[in-house]
Amino acid sequence: MSPSAAEAIFPEHHYLNAGTTARSWLLTTDHKRIGLMYMIAVLVSLLLGGIFALLLRFEHLTPGPTYIDAITYNRLFTLHGVIMVWFFLIPSIPSIFGNFFIPIMVGAKDVAFPRLNLASFYIYMFGAAFTLWGMIHGGADTGWTFYTPYSTTTTTVVIPILLGIFILGFSTILTGINFIVTIHTMRGPGLTWMRLPLFVWAIYGTSIIQVLATPVLGLTLLLIAVEHAFGFGLFDPARGGDPILFQHLFWFYSHPAVYIMILPAMGVISETVSAAARKNIFGYRAVAYSSLGIAFVGFFTWGHHMFVAGQSVFDAGAFGVLSMFVGIFTSIKVFTWVGTLYRGAIRFTTPFAYICGFLYFLVFGGMTGIAVATVSLDVHWHDTYFVVAHFHFIMVGAALMGFLAALHYWFPKMFGRLYHEGWGLVAATLIILGFNATFIPQFLLGNMGMPRRYYNYPERFQTLHVASTAGSTLLFFGFVIIFIYLALALKYGRVAGRNPWGSRGFEWDTPSPPPTHNFEQLPVFTHGPHEYQEVPEVSRVA
Amino acid sequence: MNEFLRRLLFLPEQASTFATKVDSLHYFVIITTMLVSTAVGLTALLFFVRFRRRSETQTTPLLNPPWWLETLFVVVPLSFFLAWFARGYRDYVEMRNPPKNSMDIYVQAKQWMWKFSYPGGPNGIGVLRVPANRPVRLLMTSRDVIHSFYVPAFRVKQDVLPGRYSETWFEAVEVGRYQLLCAEYCGTNHSNMRAEVIVLHPEEFDNWLADQRRGRALQQDGAPTADEEPIVQADLLRQGEALVVRFGCLKCHSIDGSPHIGPTWLDLYLRREPLEGGQTIIADEGYLTESMMDPRAKIVRGFNPVMPTFKGRLAGPEVAAIVEFIKSLRSQPVEQARSRRPVYEPIRR
């Protein structure tokens, strides 16, 4: 392939106009359309969770009651957590971009089980509807962690919310199975495991966690619902139950779930960093295997959520050491991404801005994670704003950077048009700055000893709370800008053409947007997705 | 240096022996974190400046890290992480193992208050008094949901669980008042479940404890002044005894089981009483209170409805004191001593 420029063409037939009726969307088995439907659902969740977050931040402008009462505040932080974790972060990258790109990246016409794929979308919607119903009828006030025995005795409406998440779990499991089977059985000719795009590796690791961990969560939440409804006494010490048992079960899922959220984002960064620097990944195998390493070791660190909860000193030590090893897999990836930039040919585009943001947030958030896994330090930080800031750095900072990088990197492929690059950079700057302004004060609040989930707080914390709220407003405006320019780009954006980034990734070999069956002719793989000793045709943007 | 970093990182005052140890590790970990994350971000930007794309057809060499570099990627961070862990775990083990000579205080948490009991008295709500420079072991349990005992100035936190005892300890080094916060979400008023830890000089503490045990109210806010009627707050039972005499209850009720105008109080508590009209009732606190407030509501069979109401004459705490007094009247005397503290000894080698 000679490095030259091809005319950017908007194809006449593609998956978006293959059928225009509502039926053709709602009953589609096309993985790309299902990915788009997920995108709408997930973005609505992000909006809802984001609004709850802002309401919470504004409540904290004053130490006492500002404009909502304590029970409303408790419900809001519960719903914020539930929506952001289960309805936004967990499905976001796998269900949208995984669905859309995994089949294209492995050279398949669709996922292995297309109808199952559609079913898992509807299961997601059904679970969401259940939770929404519970929210409208009062909502729970337990926090997204549902700690017993509070959650089994509260008078708020927990059961529909628990059942909603329980149902949602099936969607996650089915999507995971679908991806695992697709990656194993549907790779095109020449696509060996060591030629798989790193995004596929990351989704593969994620899917394994989803399939193994989600059933545990489902059962645990069901047990709470049963205990709440019938008073079984599983977790209630007055009836001989054990409240700590719940925490072990819950974190056995919920710690790996953190990797369900961050691994796909790491996969996105591997793809985009290579494309932005036009350079091979500096240690492909290390990144690929470390995804599996995280998936594996991530299962054995749950106890670091419970250093002060009541477990033995030995357990705390074991979980502490194992947590350090999870950190190592992440640091291998970080060094590899930075190394990839070395002697590259870097173009500063919106996805690259998010890569820089991601690296910073992941390292800061990750190392504060190591800090809280350092057992004695955790005693002071546990259940304070330090922990809140730490996991927002990872789950919102890093995972959201990954999501936005994916959105900006693949937007031209999904819709065939380009967004306004200048506004893209403005929004990225606003979001990265706003994010720091929101959560750096929260790290300091945690150091001061501000416990989380406090409706009223002592006055000495006020200054930092106001700073944090100001930052969150900045963050919000960043999102508004993104929404506006992306919506405009859908109709008025310049035609992107097949490969606007000049990327070697396989998904860029097909037209943008891709035809219904993904390829004009089925691809044969002769090179890796991150090899830039040659440069493919860059589409000349009209 | 310590003071400068402590203020820079917004840490609270260091009022326990743990605080300085934990903070020195804290500084090291956080400064490394900030340096490394900034360095990584800056390196990425620096590489962008140095390795900009110069033409749309530019290609790049295939680079893979040599084995020694990969090893460094693993070994350098891992040695840092393990060093932090080793140091942190040592301190943690110390935090979890109270010294043998520590003084015990029982902590009971419930929605939404903290109660502190010293073996042999007294009990108190909302204020924990401890001596400085003496190890204090807290044995904690909850009456409802999970709470968490958190004193930022001591760098101490331990969840308080229903149905079991958890322990923590600290040694305060500075006399003063420190905030105690509940750190585990426990419902609507979680954020108001706060208390105060007052660290006293050891001698001052000993005096206070001795005063409390003698039943004398301390001269402090809320304590009765000289012209107020002295009320022995420490002992409901003696208060009840005095009230019974003052209100003339014993003109009609006997306390030794002998028949009189009204039912005898001996063994009355939890006795099954037959009523006029055929029902029976268990004489619990509710019934005893009702009989003082509205004596004619339930008449014990064989007695005349002659008792006047004491509604408006007895205040709430006085009713409780009389009930306590009635409860103490037993023909087979139960042990009058303070209930024994729960036997608790963590497994040690």
What's the pLDDT tens digit per position in A482-517? 999 999 999 999 998 888 988 989 999 899 899 999
B92 and A283: CB-CB below 8 Å? Answer: no
Q: Which domains does chain A have, with CATH numbers?
A: 31-540 (1.20.210.10)
Counting runs of H as helices and runs of E as strands, what totals does chain A give? 18, 2
As a whole number, mean pLDDT of residues B268-284 equals 85
Alpha-carbon span A348 to A429, nearest angstrom:
13
CB contact burial A397-419 (16+ within 10 A = b; e otherwise): bbbbbbbbbbbbbbbbbbbbbbb
Phi-psi domain of A128 (left: phi exceeds 0; alpha: psi -120 through 50; beta: other): alpha
Residue type, A409: Y
CB within 8 Å: B59 and A320: no
A283 contacts in chain B (CB < 8 Å): 64-65, 70
pLDDT (mean) for B176-183:
94
Question: A198-230 and A284-297 helices cross at what angle (nearest 10)?
Answer: 10
User: How is residue A318 annotated by DSSP?
Assistant: H
Q: Provide the shortest C-alpha distance from residue A375 to chain B (in Å).
A: 6
pLDDT at A435 (0 to 100): 94
Q: How far apart are CA A239 and CA A487, in angstroms?
A: 56
Residue A419 pLDDT > 90: yes
- How much is the average pLDDT of B67-76? 91
Q: Which residues of A touch B84 (CB under 8 A)?
A: 370-371, 374
Phi, psi (rounded to 5 degrees) for A540: -75, 120
A3–B37 CB contact, under 8 Å: no
CA-based nearest residue in chain A for residue B161: A243
Instruction: Give the separation between CA A296 and CA A285, rounded to whole angstroms.
Output: 16
Cβ–Cβ gap A277/B60 under 8 Å: yes
Q: What is the mean pLDDT of residues A415-443?
A: 94
Tens digit of each residue's pLDDT (9 = 90 or more) over A352-376: 999 999 999 999 999 999 999 999 9
Examine the pLDDT at A26 and tell me if it is beyond 60.
yes
Residues of B in contact with A325 (CB under 8 A): 78
From chain B, the residues in CB contact with A368 under 8 A are 30, 33
Rounded to the nearest angstrom, the minimum Cα separation between A368 and chain B is 7
In this prediction, residues B271-282 reach a mean pLDDT of 85
- With vertex at residue A48, the alpha carbon angle to CA A43 and CA A54, rounded to the nearest 5 degrees, is 120
Band (B305; pLDDT cuts 50, 70, 90): confident
The residue count of chain A comes to 542
* Average of per-residue pLDDT across A453-481: 94
User: Where do we find the tokens 């087979």?
Assistant: B332
In 3D space, the residue among A308, A310, A220, A307 whose CA is nearest the CA of residue A257 turns out to be A220
At which residue do the structure tokens 């460094």 appear? B72
Cβ-defined contact of A320 to B158 (cutoff 8 Å): no
Both tokens of A4, joined, read: 């030259």
Query: Does A7 have pLDDT greater than 80?
Result: no
The closest CB to that of B78, out of A154, A328, A360, belongs to: A328
Please, which residues have CB within 8 angstroms of residue B58's CB and are 6 or more apart in sequence?
A278, A345, A535
Residues B59, A278: C-beta atoms closer than 8 Å: yes
Q: Does residue B14 belong to the interface with chain A, where contact is any CB pair within 8 Å?
A: no
HSE, CB side, 13 Å, CA atoms: give it for residue B298.
Answer: 18
Q: Is pLDDT at A254 greater than 80 in this prediction?
A: yes
Give the pair of three-digit tokens for residue A270: 């591997």
Chain B closest-CA separation from residue A312 CA (Å): 9
Q: Which residues of B touch A535 (CB under 8 A)?
A: 56-59
Nearest 5°: the CA angle A159, A162, A164 is 105
d(CA A52, CA A85): 13
Chain A within 8 Å of B162 (Cβ-Cβ)? yes
Q: Which of B65, B152, B182 sits opposite A448 (nearest CB)?
A: B152
Predicted local distance difference test score (pLDDT) of residue B346: 52
Read off the pTM: 0.83
Confidence (pLDDT) at B258: 79
Is a pLDDT exceeding 70 seen at residue A68? yes
Q: Within the 165-224 window of chain B, which residues sit less than 8 Å (CB to CB) from chain A?
A: 166, 179, 181-192, 194
A342:B51 CB<8 A: yes
Other CB atoms within 10 A of residue A224 CB = 26
Q: Please state whether the peptide bond connecting residue A243 to the residue before it is cis, i.e. omega within 30 degrees of 0.
A: no
Number of H helices, E strands in chain B: 7, 12
Instruction: Give me the pLDDT at residue A458, please.
Output: 92
Burial grade of A340 (CB within 10 A; 0-12, 13-18, 19 or more): buried
List the structure tokens of B111: 């929605």
Question: What is the per-residue pLDDT across A126-162, written as a single tens digit (0 to 9) for each?
Answer: 999 999 899 888 888 999 999 988 988 888 888 999 9
Residue B316 CB coordination number (10 Å): 8
Lowest mean pLDDT among A267-271, A533-537, B45-49: A533-537
Instruction: Tell me the shortest Cα–Cα distance from B77 to chain A, in angstroms.
Output: 7
Select the residue from A308, A326, A370, A457 to test the B interface by mutation, using most B Cβ atoms within 10 A.
Answer: A308
Question: Which is more confident, A213 or A5?
Answer: A213
B242: number of Cβ within 10 Å: 14
Domains, chain B, ranges and CATH? Answer: 2-50+66-96 (no CATH), 103-213 (2.60.40.420), 236-327 (1.10.760.10)
Task: List the Cα angle A149/A152/A156 in 5-degree steps.
Answer: 125
How far is residue A346 from each of residues A272, A283, A409, B313, measured CA to CA in Å? 11, 18, 15, 88
pLDDT at A488: 95
Of these ranges, A230-234, B18-22, B320-324, the one predicted with the greatest mean pLDDT is B18-22
Residue ranges of alpha helices (H) inside A60-107 are 70-82, 90-91, 99-106
> Which residues, 6+ apart, have CB-to-CB distance to B249 below 8 Å?
B322
Answer whether A458 sits within 8 Å of B146, measured CB to CB. no
**CB distance B157–A367 less than 8 Å?**
no
Instruction: Quote the percentage of chain B above a pLDDT of 70.
Output: 89
Q: Would you say residue B333 has pLDDT above 60?
A: no
Average pLDDT along chain A: 91
Q: Which residues of chain B does A344 touch, with a Cβ-Cβ cutoff of 8 Å?
A: 47, 51, 60
Q: What is the pLDDT of residues B216-271, one digit of tens each?
A: 544 444 444 444 444 445 577 778 888 888 888 887 888 888 788 888 888 888 88
Write out pLDDT tens, residues A377-401: 999 999 999 999 999 999 888 999 9
Q: pLDDT category, A461, cuts 50, 70, 90?
A: very high
pLDDT value at residue B215: 63
Measured between beta carbons, which residues in chain A are less than 8 angstroms from residue B191? 70, 451, 453-457
- The DSSP output letter for A299 is G
Q: Which residue of B has its CA nearest to A355?
A: B44
Looking at residue A540, its pLDDT comes to 65
Which region among A200-209, B141-150, B242-251 has the lowest average model confidence (pLDDT)? B242-251
Beta bridge partners of B117: B106, B123
Q: How many inter-chain contacts (A to B, CB under 8 Å) are there?
A: 288
pLDDT at B102 over 50: yes
ipTM of the complex: 0.90
Q: Which of A274, A332, A380 to mutate to test the interface with B (most CBs of B within 10 A)?
A: A380
Strands B136-142 and B103-110: parallel
